[in-house]
Chains A and B, each alone.
Chain A
Amino acid sequence: MMKERKPRYTSLSGLEIDQVYTSDHLTDWSPEQDLGRPGAFPYTRGIYPTMYRSRLWTMRQFAGFGSADDTNQRFKYLLAQGQTGLSVAFDLPTLMGLDSDDPRARGEVGYCGVAISSLADMERLFDGIPLDQVTTSMTINGPAAVIFAMYLAVAEKRGIPFHHLGGTIQNDILKEYIAQKEWLFPPEPHIALIVDTITYCATHTPKWHPISISGYHIREAGSTAVQELAFTLYNGVTYVDAAVKAGLDVDTFAPQLSFFFNVHNDFFEEIAKFRAARRLWAREMERRYHPKNPRSLQLRCHAQTAGCSLTAQQPMNNVVRTTLQALAAVLGGTQSLHTNSMDETLALPTEEAVTLALRTQQVIAAESETVNCVDPLGGSYFVESLTNRLEEGALEYFSTLERMGGMVRAIEQGFPQREILDASQRYQHEIDQRERHIVGVTDHVEQERRSIPLLKIGPEVEQEQVARLSDLRKSRDPFRMAGSLEELQEMAACHQSLMPALMEAVKAKATLGEICAALKEVYGTYREPVVL
């Protein structure tokens, strides 16, 4: 026997990988029970019978920087380049429910995304973009309901019926407590607010996804693939539970739920993760809620290539990493995809870099011929075995979380946070020990740093935003504005549906920061249990 290069081979998440996979690895596996057909339970092979033969995935580049006008121009550019959906990145003050002129926003306005403090900003962001023809995904969580109210108000002003609006608000607060850490309110009132938006969308915006239950940020924080799968799907179950407990019939809202996953470097493990996610979700939904509509069982998802896999060294290598990750997402059967730009480890992408990232998807779609056959890796001993192991690993976490009394209790005890931190420490250790290799960082290092052009955000973005807000505050009817916030607080205090009151508040020119501050007075604020 030839000597192998390493004593043991493991997946990126640490699963032991054998030399070759055979039917011996699938003794308990049944093609009827565990694989099925595309578009049929348990949806391992995909949620649609024909997948990309009928419709390609939505090419949706996450974009946002500077002012609403800067980002509006980038949106128009991306649509002109053949992008098929929009995805808004908000800056950190907006994500935290703070206005651009808040002292805590200083130095951060327009940096990590676009600054949106008012309905007027939102109108400029979508100026000239047909909201009834393009779907829009918005990565916003703490203040999601406020931003959604602004979007609806823009549509209303343009006379677009709400049932024509398609898109997504991320609106997933549990993963904020776990990983992304941009929160506003404590878990209980926040989950109730999310159920409120789910309820509203079920009635008024049937083509809108009121939540995108996200593993992306969990993975970026350092989790394994198994942890990403487990915590994300368990968060999903937590939201469904809350909605059902609030009196909703599962079939009125479950078809509108969506998911969002990371695609990291381990090609086969990532493909298996998408397959395991669909199967596990279908089985859990069936077992827990017995829905009548099959669409309630189907896990729809967006995917983004792994930002944390990008390197500042030899940045052009990132194009190659992203290509492999994007291909894994396609072979895994995603409905929508963002490909990272090579410069995103250093700054927000330049127009040139984002175009190349979009072209990467277009090349896969048009040239690689990987889209012709649905679930081309289905039946592979290795991929089926990995799919089984990921599902089993996730179910073990499900049991642990059930024993802890659910996800909110687990978060309060720091459980998912600690599991992720431990995993990220193991990964770092493996790199430091050269058990894992990163081209350009651990291997093939170049002394000379190769620099690429970076997008720079100037201080004028903040100055202009502050001036605009000052004008807005002078131009509005203070009584209508204050009245709208009082009404909102009353509604929040007696657990009434908030969306109509939020719409009135944004139209009365209350700012994002003012609305969030008013709600904090009712709901309180969140304090993180520090895990180290």
Chain B
Amino acid sequence: MAVATTPIRVLIGKVGLDGHDRGVKLVARALRDAGVEIIYTGLHQTPEQIVATAIQEDVQAIGLSIHSGAHNSLLPRVLELLKERGAEDVTLFGGGIIPDDDVPRLKAAGVQMLFQPATPMQDIVTFVKGLQVER
């Protein structure tokens, strides 16, 4: 028998100026289909807007897509703002064009997971559903 769980709430968004939203929308759709409650921010969000929305919507995790190469400054900035606002319990994960060399540094800074190009969709769903189990 399945244990009744409240669906996990996740903010999915695009931070920075890049307009590549093909991947992020497919991820949002796949998570939604898997029973995850999705808050989708749309494009061109600043780290400040992302964190404000995350707190307002009381999400458990934030998933950000970046294809512009600006991940090294934008993702740490989101973590910093979460900390400032006392919301460091919110899990941050990311995806997009993120070269191998940048992954260890971002993970060390507190990004829980980074999904690089050609990650099977199921891996992302499994990761997000795993967050639910942990709580």
Task: State the A residues within 8 Å of B (CB).
Answer: 92-93, 95-96, 98, 103-108, 111-112, 176, 180-182, 220-222, 308, 311-313, 345-347, 421, 424-425, 428, 432, 438, 441, 449, 451, 454, 457, 528, 530-532
Contacts and interface: CB of A to CB of B under 8 A. Distances in A.
Contacts of A106: 73
A96 B118 contact: no
A347 B69 contact: yes
A92 B17 contact: yes
B95 to A, nearest CB: 12
Contacts of A312: 116-118
Interface stretch (B23-31, B56-64, B79-87): B23-31
A345 B117 contact: yes
B35 interface: no
Contacts of A532: 25, 28-29, 32, 38, 40
7 contacts: A104-B17, A112-B68, A425-B26, A428-B26, A428-B121, A449-B100, A532-B32
A315 B135 CA distance: 39
A106 B15 CA distance: 12
Contact of A221 (B22, B43, B69): B22
Contacts of A93: 17
Contacts of B101: 454
Given A428-B26, A530-B42, A532-B28, A180 B19 contact: yes
A102 to B, nearest CB: 10
Contact of B22 (A347, A424, A438): A424
Contacts of B32: 532
A416 B120 CA distance: 26
A92 B121 contact: no
A428 to B, nearest CB: 6
Given A428-B26, A528-B42, A532-B40, A108 B99 contact: no
Interface in B31-75: 32, 38, 40, 42-44, 46, 68-70, 72-74
Contacts of B120: 432
A313 B22 contact: no
A311 B117 contact: yes
Contacts, number: 93
A312 to B, nearest CB: 4
Contact of A181 (B21, B29, B70): B21
Contact of B72 (A95, A107, A311, A449): A107
Nearest to B46: A104
B117 A111 contact: no
B99 A313 contact: no
A93 B28 CA distance: 26
B99 A96 contact: no
Contacts of B38: 532
A220 to B, nearest CB: 7
Interface residues of B, number: 35
B15 to A, nearest CB: 10
A112 B49 CA distance: 23
Contacts of A308: 22
B40 A530 contact: yes
B22 A92 contact: no
B46 A111 contact: no
A421 B40 CA distance: 15
B18 A112 contact: yes
A181 B69 contact: no
A212 to B, nearest CB: 17
B16 interface: yes
Contact of A345 (B16, B21, B97, B100): B97
Given A345-B97, A528-B43, A532-B29, A108 B121 contact: no
Nearest to B67: A112
B17 to A, nearest CB: 4
Nearest first, the 6 A-B pairs at minimum CB distance are A181-B19, A107-B73, A92-B17, A107-B70, A111-B69, A312-B117
Given A432-B122, A449-B100, A530-B40, A457 B117 contact: no
A347 B19 CA distance: 16
Contacts of B118: 311-313, 438, 441
A424 B19 contact: no
B118 to A, nearest CB: 5
Nearest to B121: A432
A471 to B, nearest CB: 24
Nearest to A441: B118
A108 B17 contact: yes
Nearest to A457: B69
A55 B121 CA distance: 46
A108 B70 contact: yes
Given A107-B72, A220-B22, A432-B121, A96 B17 contact: yes
Interface in B91-121: 97, 99-101, 116-118, 120-121
A432 B120 CA distance: 7
Given A180-B19, A432-B120, A457-B69, A424 B26 contact: yes
Given A104-B17, A528-B43, A92 B99 contact: no
B70 A425 contact: no
A95 B17 contact: yes
B16 A92 contact: yes
A306 B116 CA distance: 19
Contacts of A449: 100
Contacts of B122: 432
A346 B103 CA distance: 13
Contacts of B40: 530, 532
Contacts of B46: 103-104
